[in-house]
Amino acid sequence: MIFKNIRSMIMHSRLYFILFALIMIVTTIGLLFTCNFLKTAINEEKLWLENARTYYIMVESEDIDTKLNDYMLSKYAGVTKSIYVTFPTYNKDTTFADYNNLEASGDEDIIYSRPTDIYVYAYFLGQSLWGHDVLNGAAFTQEDFEKGNKKITIPMSCSSIYESLYTKVEGNTYNIGDSFNLGNEIYEVIGVNFTHAYEIPYLSIVDFSLAESINIVLDKRLGEKQENEYISYLKDHFHTDAVSEPMPLNNRGIKDYIKTYGLVMLIMVIGFFNFSFIYTSILEKRKKQIAIVRICGLSIMRGIVLNILEVLLLASVFFLLSTGIYRILLLYLMSMIGSIFVDSLSIFDGIILYGVYTFVIVAILMPVVIKYNKKQPYSIL
């Protein structure tokens, strides 16, 4: 009966149905873009907050592992959220020796050996804000971390799969299954991660002399006196004066992002209430049909359920259609503009959004559906 009602709607209220479909599709696409922007903004805000608690230690020694294990015995271990070691990457498959030789010879091809701005991260403690999840391929397993397997996940900008979506970056691009050279060690590319860096298991590191820095993220920002004491400790413990203070706090805040997209959210709300107006017009044209089936024995409750199921079916179809259009538009914008547009919505986000989306539509249309099903048939006919 639901499909019969929808077919009847298309045949006898074609204009209203087209308007209903267009409003739902446009509103849903706008909602997806808005949620994507806000999720991206929240991720950026989290990254700013983490950077405001991160201390950068430039290192040139090979006893990094010993120093980090000793650090975990200090009083600061309890306030430390994560620790990761960074390694530079180079264009093509060059080594430090290749780079030094090219620099000394003045070869114009030195550009191919220069370090890129994309680093390899190895987490000694904790994990990144995005965890170890991947966009494509396989994620690290617990065994990879425990045994130090030679595996690596790459950022989206360095993946051949997503190469067309980014402006050309300095460095190489890889496919899943390719080999990645870190010094003299060869790693297997297993997946594409959500971060802006490569990532390897910490225990896979063989040569710590290749490391560039140690990055320590605290649970919270320290006061001025505590920070001075902490920096003095880091300099003494790691035997270096090259300790950088965290970045200043970002005063912009997530509230500014919400204000930026507030107007768009308002448009989405207006779009949702337009559903009510259009669907009311559709029910108005079908009121005689509703009255006839009521006389034939259809109960008020069953009539309400059938109309709500009809709305849910239409909402589900248009949500899936809108999601497909959104993905195509997003991929197009990413290919034209670059990484300004990022797909921050996961499958889990999509499921939650679908649930909220259908709930709001049903909540808005429920009073209209009840009103028309409660009307006495004789008052209509």
Q: Is the pLDDT of residue 368 over 50?
A: yes
The region of weakest confidence among 42-51, 169-178, 371-380 is 371-380
Tokens of 165: 């979506």
Taking alpha carbons only, the member of 290, 289, 319, 284 closest to residue 304 is 290
State the pLDDT at residue 328: 86
- What are the backbone angles phi and psi of residue 59, rounded to the nearest 5°? -125, 150
What is the secondary structure of 275-295 as a DSSP string?
Answer: HHHHHHHHHHHTHHHHHHHHH
For range 55-68, the mean pLDDT: 88
Bridge partners for 201 per DSSP:
123
- What mean pLDDT, rounded, does the chain reach? 80
> DSSP state, 42?
H
**CA 198 – CA 134 distance, rounded (Å):** 12
**Angle, in degrees to the nearest 10, between helices 300-337 and 347-374:** 150
Q: What is the pLDDT of residue 289?
A: 76
Contact assessment for residue 94 and residue 113, using Cβ atoms and an 8 Å cutoff? yes
Taking Cα atoms as reference points, which of 306, 259, 298, 276 lies closest to residue 367? 276
Helix/strand/coil for 375 = coil
Distance CA 50, CA 219 (A): 9
- With a cut of 70, say whether residue 90 has pLDDT above it: yes
- Specify the pLDDT at position 1: 65
Q: Hey, what are 269's tokens? A: 């709300």
